[in-house]
Amino acid sequence: MSALNLNARIGVIGAGAMGAGIAQVAAQAGHQVLLLDNRPGAAAQAIDNIDRQLGKRVENGKLAAEARDATLARLHPVENAQALADCALVIEAIAENLEAKRALFVQLESLCSTQCVFASNTSSLSITGIAAPLKHPHRLLGLHFFNPAPVMALVEVVCGVASDPVLADCLYDTAKAWGKKPVHTRSTPGFIVNRVARPFYAESLRLLQEGAADCPTLDALLREAGGFAMGAFELTDLIGHDVNYAVTCSVFDAYYGDPRFQPSLAQKALVDAGRLGRKSGQGFYCYSEQAERPGASTLPNAPAPQTCAVEGDLGALQPLLSRLQGQGVK
């Protein structure tokens, strides 16, 4: 089974940042896309936001006006799930809640044809678990995009226990046809990226809680010494703390409380306060127009050290001592 042809209608449920981004990707690839959200007017508002974003690209000479107009003409807000009945693929991008996702796909199974493929954009919930209540669980897979979906190339194609490998290949080829770089993965906690990424966030959050340094300094260390495009606090503000914290809790629980994945009380406090990051205007940083971004703390210039005292076995740090000695440090 090859990629879905361009005559295939795509349904996207959830008009938040991820759902709107996925809808835009599918529409830019040439599909008619139906966008549904249970909040009145949210789907139409999301399409208006896409219009503004694409308009900026036109103004900057990065997109032809005709391409913008064609993409917008393929995006259609709809009022209820019944409107998705003739879709060939329905992608769910709602809140990270297992029961809500299960109930949605059970409803879709009663509305859509048996040929329709179901996909969840879940970041970490079990595809096997989501598909469990379905009469035909083989047609539900994970199709996990990354934020912002129109920009980020990677897409995880996730198979649960019952998922049909033929449909997994179809979604892989479809994502590739949409200009993405898909990868196959099994439905393990956090899949590939979110399992690997947990320590990236966790170490910075632990250092913050322990008072080792402030957010701007820790972010600067990751950017300037680690070579990352963004630090952990900048990135979690972009993702949204409600989403990032929920994924961390999901992975932590799935690995039976492995301390490597322990959620942060500092991040929980932000979620409890409604400080979700860029989308709420406040997270670890403030995003109001008047806000000034705090700078990293730096030490004043000082002479290079001449001596270094070592106590005990350095272990993995032994090469560091050799480098210091190579620079003349005794």
- Residue 305 CA to residue 303 CA, distance in Å, equals 6
Span 31-53, mean pLDDT? 97
Confidence check: pLDDT of 10 > 80: yes
> What does pTM read for this prediction?
0.84
Tell me the mean pLDDT in the region 136-141. Answer: 98
Catalytic residues: 123, 144, 156, 194
Angle (CA) 55 230 198, round 5°: 115
Q: Which CATH number does the domain 10-186 belong to among 3.40.50.300, 3.10.180.10, 3.40.50.720, 3.10.129.10?
A: 3.40.50.720
Mean pLDDT of 305-314: 85
Residue 137 has pLDDT above 70, yes or no: yes
CA dist 297 and 207 (Å) reads 15
Higher pLDDT, 88 or 300: 88
Better-scored residue on pLDDT, 299 or 168: 168
Per-residue pLDDT averaged across 109-136, rounded? 96
* Domain positions in the chain: 10-186, 194-273
Identity of the highest mean pLDDT range in 97-111, 237-251, 288-302? 97-111
Percent of the chain with pLDDT over 90: 84
Mean pLDDT of the residues in the chain = 94
Q: Where do the H-state alpha helices sit in the chain? A: 17-29, 42-59, 65-73, 98-111, 127-131, 165-177, 193-209, 215-224, 232-239, 241-254, 265-273, 318-326
- What percentage of the chain reaches a pLDDT higher than 70? 100
- Cα–Cα distances (Å) from 39 to 13, 147, 214, in that order, read 11, 21, 38
Give the pLDDT mean for 41-46. 97
pLDDT surpasses 80 at 157 = yes
Please choose, from the candidates 40, 103, 105, 112, the residue with its C-alpha nearest in 3D space to the C-alpha of residue 82: 112
Output the pLDDT for position 330. Answer: 78
Residue 118 has φ and ψ, to the nearest 5°, of -105, 140
> Computed from CA positions of residues 98, 198, 204, 215, in that sequence, does the dihedral angle turn out positive or negative?
negative
Please state, in angstroms and rounded to a whole number, the distance separating the CA atoms of residues 103 and 81. Answer: 12
How does DSSP classify residue 277? B
Q: What is the dihedral of CA 299, 303, 309, 314, to 10 degrees?
A: 60
The mean per-residue pLDDT over the stretch 211-236 comes to 95
Per-residue confidence (pLDDT) for residue 23, from 0 to 100: 98
Q: How much is the pLDDT for 1? A: 62
User: What single DSSP character describes residue 328?
Assistant: T
pLDDT at 306 over 90: no
Stretch 294-310: mean pLDDT, rounded?
86
For residue 27, give every residue at least 6 positions away whose Cβ sits within 8 Å of its Cβ, in sequence order, or none: 33, 71, 72, 74, 75
CB-based contacts of 202, cutoff 8 Å, min separation 6: 248, 260, 261, 262, 264
- Which positions ≥6 away from 157 have C-beta within 8 Å? 141, 142, 143, 168, 171, 172, 175, 182, 183, 184, 185
Interval 88-100 mean pLDDT:
96
Type of residue at 134: L
pLDDT in tens, 166-190: 999 999 999 999 999 999 999 999 9
Determine the Cα–Cα distance for residues 126 and 121; give it in Å rounded to an integer. Answer: 11
Span 186-213, average pLDDT: 94
Q: How far is CA 214 from CA 232, 297, 308, in A?
A: 12, 8, 27
Rounded mean pLDDT of 261-288? 96
Q: Which of 182, 180, 178 is nearest to 71 (CA)?
A: 178
- Provide the 3-class DSSP secondary structure of residue 241: helix
Instruction: Tell me the CATH architecture of domain 194-273.
Output: Orthogonal Bundle (1.10)
Flag the least confident range among 100-109, 153-162, 224-233: 224-233
